[in-house]
Amino acid sequence: MRTIRLGTVLLAAASIALASACAGDDDDGGATAAQDPNGPVTLTWWHNGNTDPLEGAWEQVARDFEAANSDVTIKVVPMQNEQFDTKVPLALQGDNPPDVYQQWGGGEEATQVESGKLMDLTKAVSGWIDEIGTAAEGWQFEGKQYGIPYSLHIVGFWYRKDLFDKAGISDPPKTIDELNDAVGKLKDAGIVPISIGTKDRWPAAFWWDYFVLRECSTDTVKQAMKEVDLSDPCFVKAGEDLQALLETDPFQPGFEGTPAQQGAGSSAGMLANGKAAMELQGTWNPNVMTALTEDKEFKSKLGWFPFPAVDGGGGDPNSALGGGDGFSCTTEATSVCPRFLEHLVAPKAQKLLVSSGSIALPVNAEAASAIDDPSVKVVQDYKEQASYIQTYFDVALPTADGQALNDAIANFVLGKGSPEDIPKSVGG
């Protein structure tokens, strides 16, 4: 979740011509046209920007596309992020799926491809997809492109510099031992060390995923995701590391029922309002927190650091956990849909998303110049230097396995099960 320049007038014109030429040519990877591409077209667009700034930014992006394409109407349908887990599978089983919808790629996308409702974008985007570089690979399945990313993510620790100062912590932790020491100092200062949104389950998975990256070699992780097999002993060791961390009692009271992003009492809201010192979350977190606090200066109090190294671990301490946000077109859409996706990753739209605070790390390298948040610049630099970026396990694995893994990790964090039970939840 990388190098790019998109969206010049000539490139847009070329891709429009290519998309029109490919309409209905499914046999060789073209887009299916369910409507006359030369007539009025309405695209129904499901996205997870249900609060500002992203909701407003997406509205502007849609209106800009309509202004440049007088025959196209974009019907924007914002949804809460967690609704996609249930609404997308149901929509793909029905007869009226949205034309464009939020897509996170990986094994989840591969599972959705089996529905037969995802548009093969390969030929329609061939005129510009190479300019996105490796960022597009996470949205490919069996050599074909079924989605396009618009933003990239790295998971790491967001922390309050003011609360670290209050607890006498001079530098962000670089090792797990240093993290444990920081937890102790924060407790002594009467500060909740780490907030976590366990109610939504997936935030708990970040912890185990990262311990895996620190205990397992990169090749082991890649092979495990490919074969859907977590039988290597290092996966159990990751659970033991997580168990040791849980024994330090680092999370807020009642973390079992805390949501990740909904309301001031969520884990993100706690960090935004100075009620906790740290949260292990993705690069979307500062933008999420904007709607959860009245403190307009909270971003100036934030810092960021990568997941610490594990002493004696067999993994690469410079590897990162991440992914991205993207969109897929369904077969109900016309050849206008790939053009719309190109519009989303062109410099104008990407810079709008960054400057509005809607996304942190753009997929278009040209838009990186719009990043002005110092802590996000730290993440951008880290991303460029990371030795390997592993897609979140629940996304990398097939949907059923990914969900089973998340459930097993969340249950473990809640005191149910053993380190051995977590890897056994996959591939059974």
Residues 6+ apart with CB under 8 A from 114: none
The answer to which of 31-40, 182-191, 237-246 has the lowest mean pLDDT is 31-40
Query: Which pLDDT band holds residue 38 (cuts at 50, 70, 90)?
Result: low
Model confidence pLDDT, tens digit, residues 79-95? 988 889 889 999 999 88
The backbone torsions φ and ψ at residue 385, rounded to the nearest 5 degrees and listed phi first, read -100, -10
List, by residue range, all CATH 3.40.190.10 domains of the chain: 9-153+322-378, 155-320+393-424
Structure tokens at 22: 């490919």
Structure tokens at 26: 């499914």
Q: pTM score > 0.85 for this model?
A: no
- Strands 361-362, 41-47: pairing is unpaired
Of the chain, the percentage scoring pLDDT greater than 70 comes to 91
Contact 205, 265 (CB under 8 A): no
Give the three-class secondary structure for 328.
Answer: strand
Structure tokens at 31: 């887009």
In this model, does residue 101 exceed pLDDT 50?
yes
Query: Which pLDDT band holds residue 135 (cuts at 50, 70, 90)?
Result: confident
In this model, does residue 20 exceed pLDDT 50?
no
- The predicted model gives 184-198 an average pLDDT of 98
Selection from 229, 237, 246, 231 nearest residue 212 by Cα? 237
- Mutual angle of helices 399-413 and 106-113, in 10-degree steps: 140
More confident residue, 49 or 37: 49
- The predicted model gives 288-298 an average pLDDT of 92
More confident residue, 195 or 49: 195
For residue 53, say if its preceding peptide bond is cis, omega within 30 degrees of 0: yes
In this model, does residue 13 exceed pLDDT 90?
no
More confident residue, 138 or 308: 308
In this model, does residue 2 exceed pLDDT 90?
no
Contact 113, 87 (CB under 8 A): no
CATH architecture of structural domain 155-320+393-424: 3-Layer(aba) Sandwich (3.40)
In this model, does residue 408 exceed pLDDT 80?
yes
Of the chain, the percentage scoring pLDDT greater than 90 comes to 71
What pLDDT is stored for residue 15 in this prediction?
31
State how far the Cα of 294 lies from the Cα of 277, in Å rounded to an integer: 18
CATH ID of 9-153+322-378, from 3.20.20.140, 3.40.190.10, 3.40.50.920, 3.30.70.100: 3.40.190.10
Model confidence pLDDT, tens digit, residues 335-377? 999 999 999 999 999 999 999 988 889 988 888 899 999 999 9
More confident residue, 152 or 15: 152
State how far the Cα of 115 lies from the Cα of 320, in Å rounded to an integer: 31
Query: Which pLDDT band holds residue 138 (cuts at 50, 70, 90)?
Result: confident
State how far the Cα of 147 lies from the Cα of 126, in Å rounded to an integer: 13
First-residue to last-residue Cα distance in the chain: 28
